[in-house]
Amino acid sequence: MISMATPKQGDLLSKLEGHEIGIAELDAQHGQLFDFLAELKALRGKRYSFSAATNLLGRLAEFAKLHFAIEESMMRLLGYPDIEAHVEAHRQLSKQILSFRSHLINEDLAAQLQGFIEKWLIEHIDNVDRKLVNHFLQAHVLQS
């Protein structure tokens, strides 16, 4: 599989360690999602502008949409049996990101957003994405 993303060495990248699922492309994309968290953390340390924060959330929403589309396509192609629940988890995160974006007013909300996305991402990788690994491996998808 051709990798579309290579995670940068951000200060949150180490958070991905131990949360890899063993599918190279998805692990790389998860690394990029952690990079968005590093950007959000950097924004929080300054007096950020509304436009910078909404821009970051817009980029995060677009990347998450791409990541989810790739992951969901793989699940459909490989006949993953629990696809509906997995897709619903993706929908819920997308709704939450849009909600945060529409209510972004102050730095406290940025902290809440960072905490929410970080917790969601780790829980999703560890508890939801890991479930599809065995199914993908049985379909001969290469590991990282």
pLDDT digits (tens, 9 = 90+) for 102-131: 776 555 666 777 788 888 888 888 888 888
Residue percentage of the chain with pLDDT more than 90: 24
Q: Say if 32 falls within a structural domain.
A: yes
Predicted structure pTM score: 0.67
Q: Say if 77 falls within a structural domain.
A: yes
Q: Say if 8 falls within a structural domain.
A: no
Residues in Cβ contact with 24 at an 8 Å cutoff, skipping those fewer than 6 apart: 1, 3, 142, 143, 144
Task: Report the mean per-residue pLDDT for the chain.
Answer: 79
Q: Which domain holds residue 60?
A: 19-138
Over its C-alpha atoms, the chain yields an Rg (Å, rounded) of: 15
- 71 or 12, greater pLDDT: 71
Q: Say if 90 falls within a structural domain.
A: yes
Backbone angle region of 5, left / alpha / beta, with phi > 0 → left and psi within -120 to 50 → alpha: beta
Q: Say if 67 falls within a structural domain.
A: yes
What CATH number does residue 132 fall under?
1.20.120.50
Q: Say if 6 falls within a structural domain.
A: no
Q: Identify residue 119 by its one-letter amino acid code.
A: K
> Confidence class of residue 45 from pLDDT cuts 50, 70 and 90?
low
> Domain count of the chain?
1
Residue 68 has pLDDT above 80, yes or no: yes
Q: Say if 7 falls within a structural domain.
A: no
Work out the angle at residue 44's Cα, subtended by the Cα atoms of residues 40 and 107, and round it to the nearest 5 degrees.
115
Phi and psi at residue 67, to the nearest 5°: -60, -45
Q: Say if 11 falls within a structural domain.
A: no
DSSP secondary structure string for all residues of 71-119: HHHHHHHTT-TTHHHHHHHHHHHHHHHHHHHHH--SHHHHHHHHHHHHH
- What is the reported pLDDT for 83? 95
Residue 74: both structure tokens together: 């793989």
